[in-house]
Structure 1
Amino acid sequence: MKKASLVMGILAIFGMLFGFIPCLGAFNWINIPFAMIGLVISIVAYVQEDNLPKGNATAGIIMCSAAAIFGFLRLIVGGGIV
């Protein structure tokens, strides 16, 4: 589950960067819910396993939350949220 959270975080970051391309900002309407699902999976993976290293889950939490926040800010600046 930790690997899945890391992969979702990486995909969310790439989706956010894709949404920063001019005229493609509406892609963030798809990417933000994807990043939120990845954030939930990352938090579950972080809390679920006690003894194992939690680096992948932590990276997933950071990347998914950054993708959601910056994607949301991109929508605000681009006029996608009125």
Structure 2
Amino acid sequence: MKTASLVMGILAIFGMLLGFIPCLGSFNWINIPFSLVGLVISIVAYVQDDNLPKNNATAGIIMCATAVFLGFIRLILGGGIL
């Protein structure tokens, strides 16, 4: 699950960057829910009770949270469409 959270975080960041391209800002309507699912998976992977390193889950949390926050700001600035 930790690797899945890292992969979802990377895809969320790429989706966020795609949403920053002019006229593609509405892509964030798809990317924000995807990032929220990735954030939940990352938190679950982080909280799992095992003694393995939690680096991948931590990176997934940071990337997904960044994608949600900046994607939301981009939607506000673009009026939800642009």
TM-score, length basis structure 1: 0.96
Structure 1: runs of 5+ lacking an equivalent:
none
Deviation at 1:50, TM superposition (A): 2.8
Corresponding position: 1:7 with 2:11: no
Give distance in 2, aligned partners of 1:29 and 1:66. Answer: 15
Q: How does 1:37-76 map to 2 (within 5 A)?
A: 37-76=37-76
Residue in 2 aligned with 1:80? 80
Q: Deviations over 1:27-59 (max 9, x none)?
A: 000000000000000000000133110000000
Give the Å deviation of 1:67.
0.2
Could you tell me which residue of structure 2 aligns to residue 34 of structure 1? 34
Q: Distance in 2 between matches of 1:57 and 1:21?
A: 28
Q: Say whether 1:22 aligns with 2:18.
A: no
Size of the alignment, in residue pairs? 81
- TM-score normalised according to structure 2 size: 0.96
- Show structure 1 runs of 4+ deviating over 6 A: none
Gaps of 5+ in 2: none
- In the aligned structure 2, how far is the partner of 1:71 from the partner of 1:15? 9
Shift in Å, 1:25: 0.1
